[in-house]
Amino acid sequence: IGVFSIINEECRYPKGNDQSLYNKLLNHLSKSSRFEANKHQVVKHLFNIRHFAGLVQYNVVGFHRKNKNELREEAVNFVRSSGLSLIRILLPEDAASSPDSVVEFASYFSNVCDSLDGVP
């Protein structure tokens, strides 16, 4: 399992957060020769990846938020204000929104697809 797989998995998990992402990175990658996080870095939620060009340090704070599959409020409002009813039903007013007015696109459409399963 690699860094991208872990990030992708954690960002799809509705209750995922930076701390749980960091814990998974440490648990799954600590034995990899390309991943490292010393005691000082762990306290600050930092880790290093050894790339072909050298060692690069990353901070996990904000990773989860930046990598979620979300739509900005402007995009949601644009779709909802369409003159075409077929487009408007993609994001109805009751679609789940996060506190900062962002619709979790992947989760919402996954639920829509599940609800349509078996419809003739």
What is the DSSP track for 80-120?
HT-S-HHHHTTS-TTS-B-TTS-EEHHHHHHHHHHHHTT--
Q: Judge if pTM exceeds 0.75.
A: no
The Cα–Cα gap between 80 and 83 comes to 9
The Cα–Cα gap between 70 and 52 comes to 31
Residue type, 4: F
Residue type, 120: P
Would you state the torsion angle of the CA atoms of residues 39, 40, 45, 46, taken in this order, to the nearest 10 degrees?
-100
Supply the pLDDT for residue 118: 65
110 vs 42 pLDDT, higher one: 42
48 vs 117 pLDDT, higher one: 48
Q: What is the mean pLDDT of the chain?
A: 79
* Portion of the chain with pLDDT greater than 70, in percent: 72
Tell me the per-residue pLDDT of 58-104, one tens digit each, with 9 for 90 and over: 999 988 877 776 666 777 778 778 888 777 777 666 655 544 444 45
